[in-house]
Structure 1
């Protein structure tokens, strides 16, 4: 079991990978048992060769996407603490020791490298990325009642408990959103750590698709809200159906009936009753799924205990 595993997902990062690996090695030399892992994700340049040349342990993930890479990392590597950092040389490696000690000494489950509270908006030259980061942060903190200050950062530290109980479902860059919400919903200890951010060096290109990845992130947020808070999610639709039913019933049925004691709008009566039935169906669907989600939370606590016991066994070995 490694003491500290540095996880670097990489795709076509030949320009910066050597510098990132060397910088990381320089700050972890005082942490015995540390290993730098570079996971190459079908790079078309010599990223893997350069990383191996400077001493990183290079492995490959052939399913394309950052989510697929992280799934492979989390499954294959056992460590007391993990730190994930991007290979594009935009994050300060000097923050690694402090993040590591938060995981080991304070039993934090996830440390979030917070770019947005420092230099991100000055350094980042893509205005829509700035807007998107702020929008996603506000949306998630509102829906999930949390205070994570940088939802989409790729600079994070994790405990063994988090890594071995996190179900990786996303394949792309929305994985960071999934991590943030999972930690919040499972009541894991999360801390923000303000870091400085610098934009990519000239000639290095971002792999992000501003609009495509942005839409996928929003979709992920909605799906996760539905999964973790089904009663609240379906109650919104139930309330809308009920309100539409009552408005239609009063306007097209009750008011005409009170005027001449006849029901001239039978189609409106039928539609209002259908909407009322849909309201009840969605309400009870949310109630049932909410009960299932409560049971899932109990099962997760048992899985967390198993992960902690497995960590103790690995440490003793």
Structure 2
């Protein structure tokens, strides 16, 4: 039986770009002849996200897409919780609905797993020689500070804790109780995954095609303070 990669897409007001990322997913050929399970969780979007998804599903029956919808807006973390619970693939990766990350690079993350070295692989925007859009100085400093702070309490040496691209062994991530419903998901899952006995965590360099706030970027300075709180809560104090 073939291995399957579950691709979790949290979507909020992404009606303009959701079909583009789905086209990219459809075109990707995974190593090891791996199959794809695409799980989209619409977090109560206010635009035409639902219509765009339903149209794509109806016109592309050859791609395995499962669609779920929150009746109230709960946050990105909550959408990821739903997607993780619904995943049935051997492995699971998180994919934002925008175009900041390139699905063609899934194989970079899959390689250490399929070669038997890793259980979890993070895609780092701050290592390797892949293309990176030049955007916000303070945003980059903030990301590196949050990663440094997280590493202090997890004893990991990650370069990009806040990255979207995180690939997990599905059984492992489904066994971890996750609570953060918004952007606190990243430090929480990193802290908790670091405490799994004998866990093997790898990191690979990826590209980054960042968006401006005018183009739809959503994370802001308040989310940075929440991340610090979560790093202390789940990293320093080890809250379960």
**TM-score category of the 2 structures, normalised to the smaller one:** 0.7 to 0.9
Larger radius of gyration: 1
Match of 1:15 in 2: 16
Change (3 A) 1:2 1:49: farther
5 Å-filtered alignment, 1:197-212, equals 197-200=208-211, 203-209=214-220, 211-212=221-222
In the superposition, the TM-score normalised over structure 1's length comes to 0.66
Q: Are the equivalent residues in 2 in contact too, given 1:27–1:97 (CA < 8 A)?
A: no
Match of 2:200 in 1: 189
- Looking at structure 2, the residues matched to 32 and 2 of structure 1 have their Cα atoms a distance apart, in angstroms, of 5
Moved over 6 A (4+): none
- Looking at structure 2, the residues matched to 48 and 83 of structure 1 have their Cα atoms a distance apart, in angstroms, of 22
5 Å-filtered alignment, 1:293-304, equals none
Q: Are the equivalent residues in 2 in contact too, given 1:48–1:58 (CA < 8 A)?
A: no
Q: Are the equivalent residues in 1 in contact too, given 2:125–2:160 (CA < 8 A)?
A: yes
In structure 1, the residue corresponding to 2:23 is in which secondary structure?
Answer: helix
Q: Which has the higher contact order (CA 8 A, sep 6+)?
A: 2
5 Å-filtered alignment, 1:27-42, equals 27-28=28-29, 31=33, 33-42=35-44
Give the count of matched residue pairs. 229
Match of 2:56 in 1: 54
In the superposition, the TM-score normalised over structure 2's length comes to 0.85
Change (3 A) 1:120 1:48: farther
Change (3 A) 1:124 1:216: farther
Change (3 A) 1:94 1:33: closer
- Looking at structure 1, the residues matched to 105 and 229 of structure 2 have their Cα atoms a distance apart, in angstroms, of 32
- Looking at structure 1, the residues matched to 213 and 224 of structure 2 have their Cα atoms a distance apart, in angstroms, of 24
5 Å-filtered alignment, 1:144-183, equals 144-183=154-193
Match of 1:75 in 2: 85
In structure 2, the residue corresponding to 1:79 is in which secondary structure?
Answer: coil
Q: Are the equivalent residues in 2 in contact too, given 1:109–1:161 (CA < 8 A)?
A: no
Q: Are the equivalent residues in 2 in contact too, given 1:110–1:162 (CA < 8 A)?
A: no
- Looking at structure 2, the residues matched to 91 and 53 of structure 1 have their Cα atoms a distance apart, in angstroms, of 23
5 Å-filtered alignment, 1:257-268, equals none
Are 2:26 and 1:25 aligned? yes
Give CA deviations for 1:190-237 in whole Å, capped at 9, x if unaligned: 11010011122795211112x210110001111113433x9xxxxxxx
In structure 2, the residue corresponding to 1:123 is in which secondary structure?
Answer: coil
Q: Are the equivalent residues in 1 in contact too, given 2:153–2:236 (CA < 8 A)?
A: no
Change (3 A) 1:221 1:203: closer
